[in-house]
Structure 1
Amino acid sequence: MLDLIKKIKQTNDFSFSETFSIYNNCSRMIMKDQNEGMKVLIYILEQRRKFDHSLDEMLADIVESVGFYPYLIKEKLTLSSTNSKVRLISNTSIKIPGKVFHDEQMYLSRLLSTDKNLVVSAPTSFGKSLLIEDIIASFEYRNIVIIQPTLALLDETRRKLKRYQDNYKLILRTSQNPDQDKGNIFLFTAERVNEYSMFESVDFLIIDEFYKLSSRRDDERSDTLNNAFSYLLKRFNPKFYLLGPNIEGISEGFEEKYNAKFFKTDYSLVACEEHNIYENYKNKFGERGEKKAIKERVLFDLLLKKRNENTLIYCSSPYRARYLSKAYLEYLIEKGVTHSDVNIDIIEWIERYVSKDWSLIKLLRMGIAIHDGALQKHITSTIIDYFNNGTIKQLFCTATIIEGVNTSAKNVIFFDKKKGANTFVDHFDYSNIRGRAGRMMEHYVGKVYNFNPVPTYDEIIVDIPFHEQNPISNEVLINIEEDEVIDKNSEQYQYIKSLPKNERELFSNNSLYIKGQKDLLEKIRSEVHSHHELLCWDSTPTYDQLSYCLGLAWDFLTKPDTVYRPMTKSRLVKITFDYGWNKNINELVRNTYSYILENQNKNKSDAVDDAIRDSFQILRHWFQYKIPKWLIVVNEIQKFVCLEEGKRPGNYLYYASSIENDFIQENLAILSEFGVPRSAIDKIKDKIPVNLNQDEVIKEIRTKKLFLMEDLLDYERKKLSENL
C-alpha cells in the first residue's frame, strides 16, 4: 500500500496502461483489506488529474464498491452498470435535497428510522452531523433537543438549520416559549436544559460530543450533562442519538437498558499522513532557552512553506496561541513577507470597539488568526468563516478547536503537548486534534505534523455515571430515584439520604457542589439576622452586598482543588461591580490594562494584548457563565433560609440575568446569541419597542430592514443580515 501511495504522489502523469494497473491493484486491495484499499483510493482521487480519464468508468465502479457515493457526485463520475446506478439512487437522501450519503451514513440513517437508539463513535470526517439534519428533515418528531458542549457549536448548528424554520421554531434561550403550532428544536447546552422550565414533550434527543458524560475525563460539566440526559430520559423517554469520535465502548448494560446500539467505525473518506518532526530534532526541542527557540524556528519555517494551505496550529492555552502567533508575525516581517490585500471587515470593528493596538489586526492582515474560548462569540464565528473561505490560512488555536467548532484543515500541527498549564494531551485528545486534518468533500488527504511524540494509546470507554454509578458524584447521585441507586449502603448515598428532604430538593435543583451548598446553607442560617441587609437585596447590589454574596459563592460553591489563578476573590468582586456600573467591555479592557502595567513587568504592546485576552476571558467565563450561576444558587439558599426565619428574602435574578446577558435589553439578548456584536445591538435598540418578545424582535429587524441603517459598520451590517 505504502509503495503504491508513494508512486501516486511522486509520478507526474500516468499512461492508460499505468492507470489501469493502479486501478486494478486498488480494486484487488479493497477485496483483500478494505481499509488499505480505501486509503489508496483516496490518494487516487486526490491526484486524479494525473490519471487517464478514459478509464473514469472503472474509477467510478471502484468508488462505488466502497460506498464513497458523495465523491461520485463531487468528481462527476458516471457509473457503468444499472445495479450500481440503483445503489447510488438508494443512497441519495429523500429528505435533504442534493445530499448523498456514503454507505455507513446510510446504514446509520436506516437504523435511526427503527425503534433503536443510537450511540455512534466515528472519525471527525465521517459526517455525523449530517445525520442530525437527516433526523430533522424527516419531520417525524415535533420536539427535538440538541445538546452541544459550546455556544459556538450551537450557533453553527443554528445557522445550518435555519432552512427548517417554516417547520420548526429554533429555541436558544431559556426565556423562549415553545411554539404550539409547529415543531421546536431546542439548541441548548446541558446547563440550559437543566434551567429550562417549559418542556412540554421531547420526542428526540441528540447529544454531540457525548464522551463529555464521562466522569473520568476531568470535565467540570460532566455532572451537568449527566443530569440533563437523565432528566430528559426519565421524564419524556425520547429516542436518542449520541455522537462522538474515537470511543471504544460505553458503560456495560446501557445498551440493553435503553434499547440502544453502540456503533463504532473507522470508516473515513479522508486519509491522514503523520509526519514526526520531533524525530529529526531529538533532544533539540524543549520549553525553555535554546531548545524552545529551535522548536519555534522549525515551526515558523514549516508555516512559511505552507503559507497558502489552511493550517491549524494546536497550542496549549490562549496565552500560547497569542504568543506564538505574534512571534510568527515577527518572523514573517523579518523574512520580508507583506500582508495580503484581502478585505477583512472585522478590522474596522476592532479598531472602533476594542483597540487599534490589538495585535489581532496585524495578524489578520497577514492571513493569520487566533481561536480560543476567551474570544467573544461573534469574533470566533467570524474567524472560522474567514478560515473556511480561505481569507485567512493559518489559525493558532487551543483545545476549543477540538470540540468547539466544526472546521478542518489541510494541515494540523501538534505543537504543544499540554492542555492548559499542567494536563498533558492524551491519546484521545491527540486523536481529536489529528481528526481535524483533511475534510470530506474538500481535502482528500490531511497532514499532521507532530512536534511531540504521539501519546500512548489508551482505550476510551465512556462511563455514563447516572447509569453505571461507579464513579458517581454527589451532584448526579442526588438526582437519581431511590429504586435506581445501585449501592444504597455507600457512605456517599448515606450522606445524601441524611439530608432533610426539602434541603435535598433545594440542592438538587441548584445542580452545584452539594457539600458546598450544605455548608453555605448553614453559614447563611448563622448570619441571616446579623447580615440581613447584605443578603437581602433586589435589583442592583451595593459594593458591600455584592462582596458578601460573591464571597460566599467563592468560599462555598467551589469544589476542593479548584484553581482560579490569577483571579482572586477581591479582584472578582471589584471587576464585577465596576462592569455592572460601566456596562462596557472597553472600560474593562482599560482597567485590566492598568492593572497589568501596575502589577506585571510587561511592555505596553504585550499589556494591551493581555488586557484584551483577560477581559474577554472574564466576560465569557465569569460574567456569562460562573457568576450568574453562583448568584442564582446563593439567591435560592438565602430565600430558603429567610422563609424559614420569617424574614423578607432578597432577589438576585435580575442582576444575575443582566450580567449573563451583558446588560443588553432583555428582549434583544437573543441577538447576542445569534452572534450579533453588542455595538450593533446598541445602535438598533431604539428602533425596537421594549414590549416586543424575542421572536417578534427578529421579525421587526427583518421587516424594517434595520441592518441597512447608515451608522452600522459593514461588519455589523453583515453580522445582522447573515444571522437573522
Structure 2
Amino acid sequence: MDVFEICHEINRLLTLKNEVAARNLLIRLLAELDRSKTPYPQVVNHMIRATGLFPYLQLANASWDQKYVHHAFEVDVGRRVATLHREQSSVLAKLLDGKNIAVSAPTSFGKSFIIDAFIAAKQPDNVVIIVPTIALMDETRRRLFKKFSERYTIITAPDTRLGPKNILIFPQERAFGYLSALESIDLLVVDEFYKASQKHDRDRAPSLIKAILKLSKKAKQRYYLAPNIKKLSDNAFTRDMEFLELLDFNTVYLDIKELYKEFGDDATKKGEKLIELISSGAQKSLIYAGTYSEIKKITDLVIAEIQPVDRIYTSHFSRWLRQNYQSDWLLADLVDRAIGVHNGSMHRCLSQLQIRLFEYEDGFDSIVSTSSIIEGVNTSAQNVIVWRSKLGNTNLKDFTYKNIIGRGGRMFKYFVGNIYLLDAPPTSEDTQLEIEFPEEILGTLDEYHDADQLTERQVERIIEYRTQMSSILGDENFARIKRENLLQDSDADFLFRLATDMKNSPDEWRGFGYLNSSNPDHWDTMLYRILRLKPGNWDAQFSKLVTVTKAIAYNWDRDLSQLISSLKKDGIDIDDFFKLERTVTFKLSALLSDTNELHKIIINPSVDISAFIGRMSRAFLPSAVYHLEEYGLPRMISKKIHASGLIDFLDPNMDLLLALERFIYLGRDAVLAIKSLGPFDRYVVRFFFDGITLDEAVEAKRAD
C-alpha cells in the first residue's frame, strides 16, 4: 500500500470537487492504517482536514495548524469535550443561533450527538425528545443521564414529577400527558421524523403528527432528524424550518457485496452462504431477516449448522431465559450459539440485554432482526447481512434499505462496513418526504387555532365533526375533551362511532362497571363489545387478545414461565404472548381510556374504570415494576427484590421516581447481596444500576 500515492489520488478528487469519492477513498485508507497499526503521516492528517473529518485527526503527528483545527471544533457534549466533524459543527451553529432545523443525514453522521452539545452550551430549561421506540428511549435516557442528570430531571415514564430543568424522552403517545404541565419547550426534538408520513408508518403517523402539532405550539425551537431523505415537500409542519440535506457526508465507507448474484434463487446455497459468513464469529454481524417467518428460517438453519459455544455471558443468559420464560425457547438455542434476536415485540429488557451483549467481544457474534434494529437502537456492526428484501408482507423500499445498510460501520471502530446482500436490493431512488394531515386526526384539531395549516375542506370537516360530537356530548363537554386532550385515539370517525353506539344503545353498556371486578371472568362481555367497534388489525383474533388480558391479570402473582405455558392450550405461543401483552398495554388500554371518558359523559358519570385501565396499561404489574422494565430490570428480578424486603413494590406510593431513589439509597451491593439472585440476575442488576447511577469517577469528583 502506497500511502502517498493514495493521498495523491484523494487530492486529485478534491481538486475535481468530488469530495464524496475523496472521502470514501480516505476512509478506506484509514481502515488499512488502523489494521496495520500505522501512525498517520502528516499528509493523511492533511487529507482528513480537507474532507472535514476532523475527529479522525491523529494529533501525535499533526502540524500546529491541524492541531488548531482539531481544537477549534471541540465542544462540550456533557462531562467531556469532543471534536465535531465539519457538518456536525455547521448544524450545531445553526441551532445555537436559534434556527429551526430539519436534518437528513446518513446513519453514521452523529445527528443525536448535536443534541448533547446544544444542551451543554445553552442549558435550556425544558427539552422534549420524541423517539420512535421504547428501546431507543432507554438508550437515549442512559446517554443523557450520564451527562446531565446533575442538573436535569430525566423523564421517560408517564406522571413523573417535573423538576426545575427537565429532559423528557418518550414515544409520541406519552407526550400528551405532559402538554398541560409544560408551559414552554426550549427545544423540541423529533427523532426519525419521517415517521410522520403515512407512507413510511401508516399506524403511528397520525399520533406523531398530532404530537408534533400540539408540542410545536409550545416550542421555542425545533430540531427534526431523519436519515436518507433527499427532498422535503412543502407541508405545514416544517414550513418555517431550514432543511439540511447532508446525505453525502459519510463518516464510514460501505463496501457492498452482491452475493445473491452467485446463487440466484437457490435457497440451499443462500443458507450455506449465510452460515459461511457468520460461523467464524470473528466479526460482528447484523442479519436483517425482513419478517418473523424468515427469522424462524434463519433460526432453524443456525441451530442445524452451528454448534453451541461456551461463553460466560451467553451461557448464563441462555439458562436464565429457559428458567424465566420457556425451557424449550428457540431464542435460548440461538443464544447458546452466541446469536441474538431483536424484534419489536419481546420484553424491552430482553432487547436491551441482547444489544448490550452484542457490544461485548465475548458476547454475541450476530443479531438476527426485523426492521426494529433500524429504528429501535443506535447499534452498528462490521457486517450487515440482508437476508430478505422484505418489510413484513411488502417489498423493501430503497429508503428502508439504506437505513438498514447504514448500520454497517462505526466511527473509530469499523471504518468500513461490509454489506452482504443475499437478496436483490430495491431499485435506488431519491426519497421525497411528504407529510399530510391524516383525515382521521381532523376531529382532534381546532378550526380556529389550526386553521392556518388546513385547507378549507379540512376546516369544514372539523366543524362537521364538532357539530356531530357536540350533539351527543354537549358543547361544553366536547370543548373540555379537546382542551384537556382526554381522548388518546387519533381516529375521529371511530370515536364518533363509539359515542353514537353509547347514545343509541345505552342498555348494552350497563355492564361497563364489571371491568372493575377483581375476577377476570367478568370482563369478557364488555371487552368483546368494545373491540368489535374498533376497525383495523389488532394483530390477533379478539378471543386471543381477551385471553391474554385475563391471563396477565396474574402477572405479579404467578411465575411468568407458568403463565406463558398455560396459554399454549389456547394456541398462544411465547411470541404471540409478547405481541398480545404489548397490544393490551398500549392499544387496548388507550381504547378503554377513551371509552371510559365517553361513558362517563353519555351514560353514567359515577362509573369510572380508570384504576382498571391504569393496571392494564402496566400489564397488571405494580407501577414501578412495569416502568423499571424500561430501565432494564425484568419483573422476575423485581419480584425477588420485593420478596427480600428491600423494596415494597406494592406500596401504593412506590412510583418509578421513588423506586429509583430507593435503589440509589440502597446501592448496588445491597441488591446484589440478595441470596435468591442467580448469576445472570446479578449481571442484569449491574446493567440496571449502570443506567441509573453516575460513573464512580464522576461520583468521586462530586464528593470532593
Whole-angstrom distance in 2 between the partners of 1:476 and 1:77: 60
| TM-score normalised per structure 1 | 0.86
Question: In the alignment, is the contact (CA less than 8 A) between 1:125 and 1:440 conserved in 2?
Answer: yes
Superposed, which structure 2 residues align to 1:643-658 within 5 Å? 647-658=604-615
In the other structure, the counterpart of 1:447 is: 418
SS of alignment partner, residue 507 of structure 2: coil
Q: Distance in 2 between matches of 1:61 and 1:612?
A: 56
Matched residue, 1:603: none
Cα offset for 1:190?
0.2
- Alpha carbons of structure 1 residues 511 and 464: separation in structure 2 relative to 1, 3 Å: farther
- Pairing partner for 1:400 from 356, 372, 396: 372
Alignment of 1:154-303 (within 5 A): 154-163=137-146, 164-180=148-164, 183-196=165-178, 197-234=180-217, 236-252=218-234, 257-282=239-264, 285=265, 291-303=266-278
Q: Which amino acid aligns with 1:325?
A: T
Alignment partner of 1:21 is 2:5 = yes
The 5-angstrom pairing of residues 314-463 of structure 1 reads 314-333=288-307, 338-344=308-314, 345-390=316-361, 391-420=363-392, 422-463=393-434
2:698 maps to which residue? Answer: none
1:149 maps to 2:132? yes
Q: Which residue of 2 aligns with 1:548?
A: 525
- Distance in 2, Cα, partners of 1:208 & 1:269: 20
Partner of 1:601 in structure 2?
A: none
Secondary structure of the residue aligned to 2:188 is: strand
Counterpart position of 1:571:
544
How many aligned residue pairs are there?
661
Aligned partner of 1:613 in structure 2 is 575
| TM superposition score normalised by structure 2 | 0.88
Larger deviation, residues 681-690 vs 134-143? 681-690
SS in 1 for 2:306: helix
1:63 is displaced (CA, Å) by 1.2
SS at 1:170 equivalent: strand
Instruction: Give the letter for the 1:496 counterpart.
Output: Y
User: Residue 65 of structure 2 aligns to which amino acid in structure 1?
Assistant: N
Which AA in structure 2 matches 1:343?
Y
2:101 to 102, 105, 118: 118
1:30 match: 14
CA drift of 1:246 comes to: 0.2
Q: Which residue of 1 aligns with 2:646?
A: 687
Displacement, 1:485? Answer: 5.1
Instruction: Name the CA distance, whole Å, in 1 between partners of 2:36 and 2:654.
Output: 62
Q: 2:57 is paired with a residue of what secondary structure? A: helix
Contact 2:381-2:408 at 8 Å conserved across structures = yes
Deviations 1:73-132 (A, max 9, x none): 5xx55322x333221111111344231111111111111101211100000011111112
Aligned-partner SS, 2:524: helix
Answer whether contact 1:318 1:374 (CA < 8 A) is retained: no
Q: 8 Å contact 1:487–1:493 — kept in the other structure?
A: no
* CA–CA distance in structure 1, aligned partners of residues 39 and 370 of structure 2: 46
**Matched AA of 1:707:** V
Answer yes or no: is the 8 Å Cα contact 1:213–1:225 preserved in 2.
Answer: yes
**In the alignment, what sits opposite 1:539?**
516
The Cα of 1:480 is off from its aligned counterpart by 4.2
In the TM superposition, what whole-angstrom CA distance separates every residue of 1:621-640 from its partner, at most 9, and x where no partner exists? x1221121111111112112
CA contact (8 A) 2:339 2:364 kept: yes
Against the structure 1 CA distance between its residues 211 and 362, is the aligned structure 2 distance closer, same or farther, given a 3 Å change threshold? Answer: same
Deviations 1:577-635, CA, capped at 9 Å, x for gaps = 12214544324311232334xxxxxxxxxxxxx82222122222x12211211111111
Q: Partners of 1:651 and 1:714 in 2: how far apart?
A: 45
Q: Indicate the residue corresponding to 1:632 in structure 2.
A: 593
Consecutive unaligned residues of structure 2, counting only runs of 5 or more, are: 693-704
Q: Which moved more, 1:697-706 or 1:209-218?
A: 697-706
Q: Which deviates the most, 47-56 or 484-493? A: 47-56
Inter-CA distance 30–240: structure 2 relative to 1 (3 Å threshold): same
Report SS of the residue matched to 1:489: helix
* 1:178 partner SS: coil
Q: Distance in 1 between matches of 2:351 and 2:401?
A: 22
Partners of 1:476 and 1:530 in 2: CA distance: 29
SS in 2 for 1:187: strand
CA contact (8 A) 1:122 1:128 kept: yes
Q: CA deviation at 1:510?
A: 1.6
- Secondary structure, in 3 states, of the residue corresponding to 1:578? helix
2:455 aligned with 1:487, yes or no?
yes
Quick one: distance in 1 between partners of 2:154 and 2:515?
A: 32
Q: 1:70 aligns with which of 55, 61, 75?
A: 55
Structure 1 unmatched runs, 5+? 1-13, 286-290, 597-609
Moved more, 132-141 or 540-549: 540-549
1:526 alignment partner in structure 2: 504
Distance (whole Å) between structure 2 residues aligned to residue 376 and residue 297 of structure 1: 31
Q: Does 1:109 align with 2:81?
A: no
Following superposition, the deviation at residue 681 of structure 1 comes to 1.2
Contact 2:153 2:166 in 1 (8 A): yes
Q: Distance in 2 between matches of 1:54 and 1:204?
A: 41
Q: How does 1:69-88 map onto structure 2 within 5 Å?
A: 69-73=54-58, 77-80=60-63, 82-88=64-70
Q: Tell me how large the CA RMSD over aligned residues is.
A: 2.5
Distance, in Å, in 1 between the alignment partners of 2:509 and 2:19 is 72
Instruction: Read off the aligned partner of 2:54 and give its amino acid letter.
Output: Y
What CA distance in whole angstroms lies between the structure 2 residues aligned with 1:256 and 1:576?
Answer: 40
- The partner residue of 2:465 within 487, 496, 511 is 496
Q: Deviations over 1:19-78 (max 9, x none)?
A: 3222222222222211111111011100016889587111111112212122125xx553
Deviation at 1:203, TM superposition (A): 1.2
CA–CA distance in structure 1, aligned partners of residues 522 and 195 of structure 2:
36
- In the alignment, which residue of structure 2 is the partner of 1:707? 671
Letter in 1 for 2:675: E
2: CA distance, partners of 1:525 / 1:54: 77
Measured in 2, the distance between the counterparts of 1:514 and 1:639 equals 18
Q: Note closer, same or farther for the CA distance 1:129–1:281 as it changes in structure 2 (3 Å cut).
A: same
Q: Deviations over 1:366-407 (max 9, x none)?
A: 211111112111111110011122311111110001111111
Q: Do residues 57 (structure 1) and 16 (structure 2) align?
A: no
For 2:700, the equivalent position in structure 1 comes to none
**1:661 matched to 2:622:** no
The residue number in structure 2 matching 1:720 is 688
User: What is the CA distance between 1:679 and its match in structure 2?
Assistant: 1.0
- Would you say the 8 A contact 1:119–1:262 is kept in 2? yes
- Matched letter for residue 473 of structure 1: E
Amino acid at match of 1:658: R
C-alpha distance in structure 1 between counterparts of 2:37 and 2:204, whole Å: 54
